[in-house]
Each structure stands twice: as C-alpha cells, then as structure tokens.
Amino acid sequence: MRHLVRLTRRQVLWLLAGTLAGCALKPTATAPVPTPKPAEPTSTASAPTPKPVEPTSTSPAPTEPPATTGRSYLLAALKAPGFAAVMPESLNIKPAVKAYKTDPRAVLNQEDVLERFTPEQLKALEEWGFVITPSDEKQIYDIYIHARSMGLPVFVTTDALLHTFHILYDYTLRRVEYDHFVADLKGLMEAMLSASEAQAKEASALKSVAEAATRNMAFFAVAGKLLDPQARVPAAVRELVDKELALIQAHEGFGRSPIFGYDEDYSQYVPRGHYTRNETFERYFRAMMWLGRMMFRLRPGERPELIEMGRRETRQALLIVAALQNAKVGDEPALAVWERIYEPTVFFVGKADDLSLYEYSEVISRTFGNQLALDALADDARLDAFIQAARTLRPPKIVSSLVLDVENPAAVTQGFRFMGQRFVPDSYIFQQLVYDKVKGYQGQGKPFTMEPSLAGPVRAFPRGLDIAAVLGSERALEILRAEGDTEYDGYEEQMAKLRAEFAGLPPEQWTENLYWNWLHALRPVLEPKGEGYPTFMRSSAWTDKNLNTFLGSWTELRHDTILYAKQSYTIKATGLLPPPPKLPGYVEPEPEVWNRLLCLARLMRKGLGDRGLLDQEFAERLEGLENLVATLRDISLDELANQPLGEAQAKLIENIGSWLKAITTFEERTQKEITSAADERMAVVADVHTDPNSGQVLEEGVGDPLSLYVIVPGEGGTYVTVGGIFSHYEFKQPMSARLTDEAWQALEPKPPFAPWFEALVKPW
C-alpha cells in the first residue's frame, strides 16, 4: 500500500548531492537528506438579537435619521501582504546532440526489446523514437522500480518529478490546514458570530443596520455549523441557518439563498480533492467554500430593489470589516487570526479575485474616517458615497456565480467576500474564451466546447488546450482549430489578445506565488524542440506527448487547489531488486523545466519555513526533492552537450524509483491524520469550469500512469529506455454529480483519451 512504509533506515540520498545554484536564493547544503524521525504521539451564551428578517428586499428602505447613540468602531487602512519573488538563474543551454536513427532492430539492447513489443509498437519506436503503452502500475515510481526487473534502463521524465512535487505540495497544504487552519477558523467564526450579535444589539434602533448584522449572524453561524455540528446558532437566526444548511447538504445545483436572497450554486459544496480524506477536511471544505463564495455586492443592478440589495449587502460587509478589526479570538485580535489563514493561502494559490478586507478598509478610511459609527451605516447618502468610491476599484476578473448575458458580470458581482476565492490565471483564460466573451458558433457539427442555449449554440466549455495555446503552444491551437473548437465569433480575437497579454507579463508575475510558479515551470514543456536535441524530441509526436505532460501536471495543480482557486462559469444565455541494467539510464533533457521546478520546491520550503508552517518531515522531503531536481538539471545539460554520465549520476538514475518513493513516503502520524486509501493511487480529478446552460461541469482527470519507451543515444549506439508519464482525461459531468477522487478511481470504463493523444498510445 502506498505511503505505509516508514523510513526506518538512513536514506542513501547522498546520490542527490548535485549543485543547487539554479535559483537566486542562498544555496542549501547538498548533504544527504536525514531519515525522518517518528512523530511524537499526538463562553456560549448569546446576546439578545433581533428576529430574523426576510431574505430579500423588494423596495428601497427610506433613509433613516441619524441615531443619537451607537457604537463607533476604530478602523485602520490595511495593506495586503507581499512575497519576495524567487527568480531562476538563466541557463546557458546549447543543445549539440546529433541526429541518429531510431531503428529498434539496431539498438544495443535489442534482445530485451524485439520480443517484448507488438509490431505496431515497434513501428512507433522506429517512426517517432518512442512509444507510449498502458501499464499495470498505480503509482508512477513503480514503473521505475519494476524497470530493473525488465532488464531495461530508465528514462527519467519530467512527468515523474512534476507528480512528485504535486504530492509534496498537496500533502504540505493538508498538513497546514489540519494543524493550523481548522482550529483558527473555528475560533474566528465564534468570534465573528459574537461580534455580529453585539452589533445587532447595539443597532437595535437602526432597522437597516440591525438587519445587516442579523444576516451576518446567520452567515457566520452557517460557517460555524459546517465546521462543527455542535456549534451554537442564535435563536434569532436558527430558521435561516437551517434552511441554508439544508441546501448545502442537498448540493443539487442553483437555488435561492435564504440568507442572501440571490442564487447560489450549491453543487459546489460537494467536498472534492483531498478534502474527502476525512471528516475534518470535509467540514473545513464546506465552511471555506461558503466563506469564499458568498458575495456582499456593491450594486447588483440598477433597479431600485437591486440598488437597495447592494446597500444592504454593503452594510453587511462594512460591519464585517469593523468586527474583524475590533473583535478578539481569545486574547488575540481577530484580524491576526484571519491573516494567519489568508496569507499562507495567498502564498500557495494567490490573492483573492474579489475585493477584500484590505481594499474595503482603505475606502472606509477615506469615506468615513478612522471611526465607523453604526448610525453612519443607516445614512443612505454616506453609504452610497462609499459604494461609489468602491466601484472604482478593480472588478473581479473571474465570474464564479450565475450571471445573465444581459448583465455586466464585473458590475453585478463586484463586492466583498470574507475569504474570497483566488484569482488564478487559468480560470481567467477560461472566462475569456467562453460565452459571452466569445459569441455564437459559426461552424458545422458539434465540437466538444459547444452547447445549445437560449441564445443559440455557444462556446459553453473551454478546454485545457486553451491554456496551452494562450501560453504559446502552436500545436495546441492547431488541435483546437482542427476539432472545431475555435469556430466561434470572436474566439480568434480573444485568443490573440490573451496571447499578447500573457507574453507581456514580467518575470515577477510568474514567480509571485506557488501557483503561478508551477505554471511557469510547465511553460518550457510547450516549446517545440529542434536541432541539437535528441531525435525523439524533434517530432510533432513528442510535442503532443509534452502537451499531455502539461495537461497532466496542470490537472494535479487544479486538484490540489480546488477549494481556493476561483472556478470560471459560462455566462447563462437568456436565450526486491535484480542486478542493475547493462546500460545507463537517461534524463529527459528539459533543463529549463528542471531549473524552474528546483526554484519552485525551494520557494515552497523557504516560504513556509519562514512562516513556521513547515515541520521537519516535509522540510526534509522538499530539500530531498531540490537535491534530486538539481542533479537532474545538471545531467540534462551534460546530455545536450554530449558529456557522459559520472558514476554517481548513473547510480542515481538507476535507482530513481526508490528515491521518488522515499520522498513521497510519510510518517505514520501523517498517514493516519491526512491520508486515506484514495492516496494509494495516482489517479485524481478536479472540476474546473461550470456551464449553467447545460447544467454540466468540465472535469480534468489524471489516471494511472502510462509507460513511455524511448530510444536514446549513448556511447556505442542507441538503446531503449523506459519511464512513466501522465494519463490525462477531459470530459463533462452533471454539475450535481461533481466527481471525487474516490468516484473517479472507481469509474470504469474511463472516458477515451483525446484523439490527438490516443494516436500515441499503442496497447499490448
């Protein structure tokens, strides 16, 4: 079983002692990674509150006269945190490998090859220099461990190391959530609930302010109950809370929120990703999804009742900001606890796409001063001045809720979210390449991206290839065109605009957090390889193999961040080891990928370590990964320069499967607390986009690993090597049945591969 082997002996990771000069950080020692040590065992009274109010307002409330009494809240303009960028050093890559024949009948280890492969597989080896086949393994490192029993040298793929980083990223995030965020969030919700109760009591003479505070009580009580079934719910809001919890538990799709009065997609509350591993994660997922999705909008429309809804929701937001800056969680400021959750998630994923505490605090200080009196919130004129000022701030770039095509998405969704989901560049790309940014279908047939709507056939779904195309892949765009997925009014213009936008981003943007850095590490994979690279890398077939690598690793990124990454929505139209092999192994010569992955791992270790969020177990494994990747980078540079492997380098490659398994094998405490049987397999899934028109979501899946056989050059001739790569799937699923990892692993048969990739896979 995966991850159930404790590291009881000192790992021989001295083989990983390559140079670490690839990042602009102080190099770490190249000493062996030490064996991890076993882990050590390991007031409720509510204030009087107003009665619950009706969920929606249908007409503007009159402006109330200023109250003569009421509390004032001291407020400060706050600044969002920033993180120092870590820039990879430039590499001097001079590929000088001469072209060679890829005839499997002429390889040095032909006695191990010719009887092993089918005629079709041999044909692919000869034509492309490689062939992809199904495997029986559930983990990518097992392909390498078993390669020695096959008598074949190994081919170390970028896929294998990208997957290893995914495991460390995902498990580290789980550890931080389990050890830190869950307890902090529970304390914060109780403090915010109590603060909202106090506000409602203090504003009892101010109807509109008391109503807003009451709704906030319900908002925080829902989050508290989602986290802890025993959490208290004030009697004044129990009915509202119970109705909201019933909708969340049913998770059937769009429904009218009893608390907020607008439509919410309750299918989003199905725990997915690693949040299915235990009940603690499931509860945390639902609570954070609630806190991240529910909007406090500035002006959802121009009709009088919508203007009034904007005022009400803005009052709620201002009361929340005031409470956050003044409440206590025990003896600690609530703001410090909120930031202790928000800041690390910015480091992992990115900043909130919506306006947050930071922007609202600044506008409050400009419009209300450094004190916010409750009676000022009852003054519509002063509230409207705040709304007018806040509307000049950045709008959200990603629509993550139901919006009609007759509405302006940026305007109707602009506002505050308590712990807003994050801007991620791939969701932004998706948003720009579906309806209504891209209009009606102009082609024939029914491509994957097209769905009927009341406005006619529209581009309701994006594809993972859209991201690759925006990031510069001509092959991805060629496939999209060939399959009819570009035949929409405005698609080509949007694609050109996005390509220019992303090509112009400064290096600092690509390195501002772990999410952007991960995508940055994948970008060189998309670049076609020409003269000077090994023959197997020069064909269009290898370009397609690399597209699959990009999509597989991107899918794992979305899986790991499914709770925090803001999902895009289409606008709804109203209409035991044998002797070693005789030949040395080979490293996929992608030095820039290895270089960026090295920086990514180092940034993660340093950034979390500086914040006290990285325990020794994970620090050791990340350092081991850095050492390994640095060595692979140097080997790949030597390969391109026709330099032979050193003895230690050859030994490392030979044992790569054992090293990968060691890096991703965790202590008993970690396995017990944050893993489940689903982690014994490589296969994971993530829904990445929702289309309200068809009621479906776009699912991206990674399955069990595939085997990759490659003819590589060496001293004395060519020979066949074997490695592991991603299997990637893209398909649609009803939004009411968003897939978990467990459901995905059990699903048989799996959807077909994309046609362009299926052509590369030759069955046994």
The average pLDDT across 357-363 equals 96
pLDDT band at 15 (very low <50, low <70, confident <90, very high): very low
**Same domain? 30 vs 129:** yes
Q: In this predicted structure, which of 109-113, 158-162, 238-242, 487-491 has the lowest mean pLDDT?
A: 109-113
**Same domain? 303 vs 253:** yes
**How confident is the model at residue 72, as a pLDDT?**
80
Q: Is residue 369 part of a domain?
A: yes
The average pLDDT across 377-394 equals 96
Q: In this predicted structure, which of 5-19, 133-147, 239-253 has the lowest mean pLDDT?
A: 5-19
Cα–Cα nearest to 384, from 312, 484, 488: 312
Q: Give one word for 320, left, alpha or beta, with left for phi > 0 and alpha for psi -120 to 50.
A: alpha
**Same domain? 370 vs 483:** no
| Cis upstream peptide for 344 (omega within 30°) | no
Q: Which helix (H) or strand (E) holds 299?
A: none
Q: In this predicted structure, which of 56-65, 102-111, 471-480 has the lowest mean pLDDT?
A: 56-65
Residue 452 reports pLDDT greater than 90:
yes
| Cis upstream peptide for 436 (omega within 30°) | yes
> How open is the CA angle 183-189-195, to the nearest 5 degrees?
140
Check if the beta carbon of residue 206 is closer than 8 Å to that of residue 64: yes
**Same domain? 346 vs 248:** yes
**Same domain? 153 vs 214:** no
pLDDT tens readout for residues 277-290: 999 999 999 999 99
pLDDT band at 574 (very low <50, low <70, confident <90, very high): low
Specify the number of domains making up the chain. 2
Residue 256 reports pLDDT greater than 50:
yes
**How confident is the model at residue 345, as a pLDDT?**
96
Q: Is residue 486 part of a domain?
A: yes
Segments of 289-333 assigned E as strands: 296-297, 328-329, 332-333
> How open is the CA angle 129-135-141, to the nearest 5 degrees?
90
Phi and psi, residue 273, nearest 5°: 65, -145
pTM of the model: 0.89
Residue 21 reports pLDDT greater than 80:
no
d(CA 328, CA 191): 6
Query: In terms of residue numbers, what domain contains 624?
Result: 13-38+85-166+466-758
Phi and psi, residue 701, nearest 5°: -125, 145
CA distances from 550 to 253, 263, 604, 728 (A): 31, 35, 21, 10
**Same domain? 139 vs 187:** no
Q: How many helices (H) and strands (E) does the chain have?
A: 27, 19
Q: Is residue 71 part of a domain?
A: no
Q: Which of 366, 392, 425 is the last residue of a domain?
A: 425
The average pLDDT across 127-149 equals 95
Percent of the chain at pLDDT exceeding 70: 87
d(CA 728, CA 132): 13
d(CA 250, CA 246): 6
pLDDT tens readout for residues 694-732: 999 999 999 999 999 999 999 999 999 999 999 999 999
Q: Which of 425, 456, 481 is the last residue of a domain?
A: 425
How many C-beta atoms lie closer than 10 Å to residue 750's C-beta?
15
Q: Is residue 651 part of a domain?
A: yes
Q: Which residues does 637 contact at the CB level (< 8 Å), separation at least 6?
A: 91, 93, 591
**Same domain? 400 vs 323:** yes
DSSP state of 728: E
Residue 14 reports pLDDT greater than 60:
no
Check if the beta carbon of residue 723 is closer than 8 Å to that of residue 160: yes
pLDDT band at 4 (very low <50, low <70, confident <90, very high): very low
Phi and psi, residue 466, nearest 5°: -60, -40
Strand partners, 568: 689
Cα–Cα nearest to 257, from 290, 288, 231: 290
CA distances from 392 to 141, 219, 293, 354 (A): 52, 27, 22, 13
pLDDT band at 583 (very low <50, low <70, confident <90, very high): very high
* Chain Cα centroid distance, residue 718: 40
**Same domain? 224 vs 120:** no
Residue 96 reports pLDDT greater than 70:
yes
**How confident is the model at residue 111, as a pLDDT?**
86
**Same domain? 148 vs 196:** no
**Same domain? 150 vs 184:** no
Kindly give the pairing relationship between strand 706-714 and strand 696-702. unpaired
pLDDT tens readout for residues 506-537: 999 999 999 999 999 999 999 999 999 999 99
Comparison of pLDDT for 86 and 672, the residue scoring more: 672
The mean pLDDT value of the chain amounts to 88
Cα–Cα nearest to 522, from 478, 472, 461: 472
Comparison of pLDDT for 85 and 145, the residue scoring more: 145
Which strands form 568-569's sheet, in the order they lie side by side?
A: 568-569, 684-691, 696-702, 728-734
Residue 578 reports pLDDT greater than 70:
no
Q: Is residue 434 part of a domain?
A: no
Q: Is residue 50 part of a domain?
A: no
Phi and psi, residue 449, nearest 5°: -80, -15
d(CA 393, CA 410): 11
